[in-house]
Amino acid sequence: MYTTKARILVVEDDRAILDGLLDVLVFNGYDPVGIEDGAVGLETALREKFDLLVLDVMLPHVDGFAICSQVRRAKPSQGIIIMTAKGSEDDIVKGFKAGADDYICKPFSLRELMVRVEAVLRRSGKLTGDEQLSLHGIHFDGTNLTASAADTTVEITRREMDIMLYLHRHRDRIVSKKDLLRDVWNYADADIETRTVDIHILKLRKKIASLIGDNHLIGTVRGEGYRLELDE
């Protein structure tokens, strides 16, 4: 079982950019909705529930600042990121005054986007690390940071929860140490030599073994990385 993914509304009138943003959000385990018109985006943001809004500034009919301002008044806790033109300090200031939680300057890397998305979701209490996951009889609770099986419960760290969710999100492939350093640890240089990942995986495996015995839930692919062993 894997709980509902964070729902993200992206309002961007450039179709190519919008499609790219939606693709990367889906790839990273989110549930995005894309809209090209500012007026429709505003109406949708007010009517429906989203964990995060990602708003372009220049939009037809209603601009990103107006959407941000109106949504913030109606939904004070709504997570909002504004996309601005690179180096436009006035837009950045205006965005924060309208109630944005963060901004990202175009052109931006997809990695930078994901870091900012995750940061805002974490601050607002809705991130993959806060979700629930059940595998092989173990229930991983990202809210209380526990892992339970039968009558036994062990404490886990936020990083361990994020590792499990990342491995589950990418369960159809091998996950490399570089993937984990880049996407879970947010290392700018994922090529550095470090045993951080190995040590965290070792501790996580010991906790899993304490719950269900020596079940190799997290498998090692020599020279490649890790993957979840989900075959019953």
- pLDDT of 127 reads 56
Across 55-69, 88-102, 120-134, least confident range: 120-134
- pLDDT of 189 reads 66
Q: How far apart are CA 98 and CA 135, in angstroms?
A: 43
pLDDT band of residue 2 (cuts 50, 70, 90) is very low
Last residue of a domain, one of 95, 123, 151: 123
Tens digits of per-residue pLDDT, 65-109?
999 999 999 988 888 999 987 667 788 888 888 889 888 888 888
Last residue of a domain, one of 75, 101, 123: 123
Q: Is there a single domain that holds both residue 135 and residue 118?
A: no
Q: How far apart are CA 49 and CA 8, in angstroms?
A: 9
Average pLDDT value for residue range 135-164: 89
pTM: 0.57
Average pLDDT value for residue range 20-32: 88
What residue numbers bound the domain in which 62 lies?
7-123
Last residue of a domain, one of 123, 144, 162: 123
Q: Is there a single domain that holds both residue 81 and residue 159?
A: no
> Does residue 1 belong to any structural domain of this protein?
no
Q: How far apart are CA 58 and CA 174, in angstroms?
A: 40
Per 3-state DSSP, the chain is made up of helix, strand and coil in percentages (nearest 5) of: 40, 25, 35
At residue 153, does pLDDT exceed 50? yes
Cβ-proximal residues to 133 (8 Å cutoff; 6+ apart), any chain: 1, 2, 3, 139, 140, 142, 164, 165, 168
Report the domain count for the chain.
Answer: 2
Q: Is there a single domain that holds both residue 133 and residue 117?
A: no
Give me the numbers of helices (H) and strands (E) for the chain, helices first please.
8, 11
Tens digits of per-residue pLDDT, 200-219?
999 999 999 999 987 779 99
Q: Is there a single domain that holds both residue 174 and residue 92?
A: no
Cβ-proximal residues to 63 (8 Å cutoff; 6+ apart), any chain: 38, 57
